[in-house]
Chains A and B, each alone.
Chain A
Amino acid sequence: MNRRANEAGSTVVYMARHPLRKKFVRDWRLLLMFLPVLIYYLVFCYLPMVGIVMGFEDFRMGSGFAGLFTSKWVGLQWFKQFFSSVFAWRLIRNTFLLSFYSLIFGFPIPIIFAIAITQLRAKRFGKVAQVITYLPYFISTVVVVGMMTNFLSPSSGIINQMIVRMGGKAVNFMSDPHWFRRLYVISGSWQTFGFNSIIFVAAIMGIDPELYEAMNVDGASRWQKIIHLVLPMISETIILLLIMTLGNLLNVGFEKVYLMYSPAVYETGDVISTYVYRQGIENHSYGYASAVGLFYSAVGFVFVVTSNWLSRRMTGSSLW
């Protein structure tokens, strides 16, 4: 921490001495490289925010961008409508629980996997295992959901055939509300744990071998090495990724839910983003959909800020 503080200090001194223009001249190559990123964020993230205003008005069809300034102002009407809807609580609960379970079950697995793989003696086997586990990450969501539908089909799916062979009763996994969250979380973890473990593997590889040797000299067991050396050394990486995941907590994958759900599982599967889609795109209630979307973003924002604050309080490191 000290070294970092010193660096920060010297930057402050540097900035005080050099006016802005000089820095531009000095760093123009870096700034040029940064430019596409800036444009991307302005065009795709900041500019569309103007549309938030739709959440407070009765948007007039066909009026386009100008309509944002000419449509009838309705204040908080859409928000009132949403919170008086019988679905409001269910949507919030589903969105939150789906994300929460994904985090609880999805986050530790890559860490455990990364530790396991780096502790392996058979290095070649470890490499092969790593490749095999991160390949599913590159399968598109549509294909994954298609595979699930096929494998889990009550009549022809391999899983149900096994259940029936063993004397059980076929389960209609894809249209049973009890199963929606489990399927979503399990398939999600399966798809991403290999890929997500890469960064942890890298962190573990970065640990100075001398530390291991020191522990060997002290006669530490493999388990003790994991607890007292590996975990503390990668804790900063874990925290950083945890904050980033928390920030995205409410960002449940719209595509995947949309592909997986049907009226039969709305009870557990319908989330805010799919509801916004049905209201906005299918029902053309652009104002209402924007209002619900805005509420959703506001909650997401609170999550990011809170997790960042928590992390700074608890570990001393944070994103800002």
Chain B
Amino acid sequence: MKKITRVLSLALALMLALCAVGFAESLNLAELPLTTEEGAAVSILAMNSWYSTVDLSDATLLNEIASRAGVTINWNLIDPTVYSDSVSPMLAAGQDLPDILQMPDLDLNMDYLSSGMLEPLDTHFDIMPNYVAFLEKYPNIKAMLTAVDGHIYYVPQTVVTNNYQPVMMLNMPWLEKLGLEAPTTLDDFVAYLRAIKDADMNGNGEADEVPMSVMSAFLPYMFGPAFGLDLVSGFYADDEGVVHYAAYEKEAYKAYLTFLHGLYEEGLLETEFTSLNRDQITARCANDQTGATYDYSWQMSTLYSAQYPNYDGTVGIIAGAAPLSGEHAGFYVGRNPVSSVFGINAKANNIELAVKFLDYAMSEEAQDLYVWGMEGLTYEVDADGNRHYLPRCTEDTIWYQGLGINAPNMPSQQSTPATDVLLADWHVQNDRTFEEPYIRAPFPTVYSTPDEAAVSSMYMVDIDTYVNERAVAFISGYADIEAEFDSYIATLESMQIGELLKVRQAQYDRYLASLK
């Protein structure tokens, strides 16, 4: 899953970088400035911008937050593509760490928070009015962030959960040309792909059409649901509340693999599906070469449709469609709200100041800065009191990102309405019609007890590795599904998948209990 996460995170980041946060009135519950001490400073270890040419260490909006708070920020910013790999060893060593730490993952195994290196934040809730208000507003996030020992160690960065998630996109002009409705079942979809393969859809006289361009990380999103599998979460609960592991579902997963192997044999799934990347898909759109793709919704209007010379911004060319159904009704997999967490170094020189600053960084006043920036710089207010982004915001992306808008290095919060304003109307409509109604919540993220964590970290990595490599082998025909699937299941059993299912079941039950 790690690899997949990394592939997706770039797409996610593009969204994150552009999506905006709440429209609430400027509101801040803390007293400013936070300190009157001369030369007060907070050091922060966090991700740098996802735009490789943007450095956030001297970003206007973040400097504004610092100056309102009356502190200087000493940034230690790290390239987000290698964040986890570079920061994990730093945290393990635990020497000379900054005051505020953006963690390399959600710490669900409680490796970090149980080590004593982080300050329990609930002991400081008297000086965290903004965060306390936030937790009251979102009890599900509070339930998620409460560790097994009852303390809260982290402040979250949150994302939209039911909108603008990965979605199937089809080439609308081609569908029209073929006189087909948008396929909603696997059979119709395969018929559509075959129709493309046999016809010169772009009319350039060459057989250069690729029926379907889907990065391998998205295949589970696209085809799993038709077989009743949530391969994205891996673990999922059925209607009776029983937890399953998707790649260990003997009938359904085998059917899923057989279906994909069929596509591969027929040439509908390309030979190089494991190495396909977004740049290649974009190039195919520019040459009108592909009939279907699957990606984060954000790419639909801003990247893929925009490649077509006749795209005028009012009608989508590569546009989202309802999920594919098979024996089971199709669905899209949503996302958990917490995307990243910030903790406070228990050895920080001035814990109180760090706590206060982190609290202020997630106040609605700060959120407003992350989303809108400052009047005159990024937006203007019209006669009716409505805000509008200034043209430079869309024209000069590097400048706009360099201001620290939607800072990936701060506890910022995404919201659907704020994302809507940034997208074409048809795209927003498309999201409401074809995505939102079909979203299913992913498996909840729950902290593990130490025993559970021991089981997870002992078996999960090996199981992930094994499942991933076998999936590729079965789909590409390197391994024969009929002959080897049973031994695959047996191997998973010998790798203690049963123990893991018990752990996940216990966690799921705990999660349900905490919601009551």
Residue of chain B at shortest CB distance from A84: B494
B248 to chain A, nearest CB (A): 15
Q: How large is the interface on A (under 10, 10 to 19, 20 to 34, 35 or more residues)?
A: 35 or more
Residues in A whose Cβ lies below 8 Å from that of B271? 154-155, 170, 172
Tell whether B516 is near chain A: CB-to-CB under 8 Å: no
Residues in B whose Cβ lies below 8 Å from that of A107? none
A106 to chain B, nearest CB (A): 27
Alpha-carbon distance between A96 and B115 when the two chains are bound, in angstroms: 38
Pick out which of these stretches binds chain A: B83-91, B174-182, B190-198. Answer: B83-91
Pick out which of these stretches binds chain A: B30-38, B461-469, B503-511. Answer: B461-469
Residues in A whose Cβ lies below 8 Å from that of B97? 62
Q: Are A60 and B478 in contact (CB under 8 A)?
A: no
Q: Are A267 and B88 in contact (CB under 8 A)?
A: no
Known: A278-B461, A282-B85, A285-B457. A62 touches B473 (CB 8 A): no
Q: Are A86 and B491 in contact (CB under 8 A)?
A: yes
Residues in B whose Cβ lies below 8 Å from that of A61? 91-92, 94, 111-112, 115, 117
Alpha-carbon distance between A60 and B112 when the two chains are bound, in angstroms: 8
A84 to chain B, nearest CB (A): 9
The contact string, 1 if C-beta is below 8 Å from chain A, for chain B 69-97, is 00000000000000011001101111101
Tell whether B274 is near chain A: CB-to-CB under 8 Å: yes
CB neighbors of B among A267-293 (8 A): 267, 270, 278-279, 281-286
Residues in A whose Cβ lies below 8 Å from that of B471? 263
How many residue pairs, one in A and one in B, have C-beta atoms under 8 Å apart?
100
Q: Are B272 and A86 in contact (CB under 8 A)?
A: no
Q: Is the interface of B mostly helix, strand, loop or mixed?
A: helix
Known: A61-B92, A262-B274, A264-B472. A278 touches B112 (CB 8 A): no
Residue of chain A at shortest CB distance from B94: A62
Known: A85-B462, A86-B495, A175-B274. A62 touches B92 (CB 8 A): yes
Residue of chain A at shortest CB distance from B347: A62
Alpha-carbon distance between A267 and B484 when the two chains are bound, in angstroms: 15
Q: Are A64 and B274 in contact (CB under 8 A)?
A: no
The contact string, 1 if C-beta is below 8 Å from chain B, for chain A 172-204, is 101111000000000000000000000000000
Alpha-carbon distance between A215 and B260 when the two chains are bound, in angstroms: 69
CB neighbors of A among B426-465 (8 A): 457-458, 461-462, 465
Residues in A whose Cβ lies below 8 Å from that of B469? 263-264, 266-267
Residue of chain B at shortest CB distance from A153: B272
B149 to chain A, nearest CB (A): 15
Alpha-carbon distance between A155 and B208 when the two chains are bound, in angstroms: 11
The contact string, 1 if C-beta is below 8 Å from chain B, for chain A 63-105, is 1110100000000000001000111000000000000000000
Q: Are A62 and B465 in contact (CB under 8 A)?
A: no
Alpha-carbon distance between A16 and B238 when the two chains are bound, in angstroms: 83
Q: Are A87 and B478 in contact (CB under 8 A)?
A: no
Tell whether A113 is near chain B: CB-to-CB under 8 Å: no
Q: Are A281 and B85 in contact (CB under 8 A)?
A: yes
B113 to chain A, nearest CB (A): 9
Alpha-carbon distance between A192 and B469 when the two chains are bound, in angstroms: 31
Q: Are B472 and A175 in contact (CB under 8 A)?
A: yes
Contacts A/B (CB < 8 Å), 10 sampled: A63-B94, A64-B92, A64-B93, A65-B95, A87-B462, A87-B465, A149-B275, A177-B478, A263-B469, A270-B465
